[in-house]
Amino acid sequence: MRLFVPPLGSRAAYEDRAEFADTVMDGRRLREVLAFALRGKGAVRRFKDALSDRESWFRFANERSLRRAVDWLAEQGYHPAGH
């Protein structure tokens, strides 16, 4: 059996970046820089350039992607082991 996984589009990625910007603990200035970077065309590049800790962003993004996948599978009636 095959299972079609619909694409999320860019909105989910934007929301992840915006939420990550809100959680940054390096101070108000970095949060403001990241939030500003998310505005308009070229937001992905500006966001990446503004990151001071890329490892924490990748960890955050991977956790969000995994959570979305597990939630989506559960909605389809599947329950991955360990989740």
Per-residue H/E/C for 51-71 = CCCHHHHHHHHHHHHHHHHHH
In a domain, 2, yes or no: no
Largest Cα span, the chain: 50
Question: Whole domain around residue 58: which residue ranges?
Answer: 17-75
Q: How many independent structural domains does the chain possess? A: 1
Mean pLDDT over all residues of the chain?
87
Whether the predicted pLDDT of 24 surpasses 90: no
Banded model confidence at residue 31, pLDDT cuts 50, 70, 90: confident
What's the whole-model pTM score?
0.76
* CA separation for the pair 9, 77 (Å, rounded): 23
In a domain, 64, yes or no: yes
In a domain, 21, yes or no: yes
- The pLDDT of 13-34, averaged and rounded, is 84
In a domain, 6, yes or no: no
Residues with Cβ within 8 Å of residue 80, at least 6 apart in sequence: 70, 73
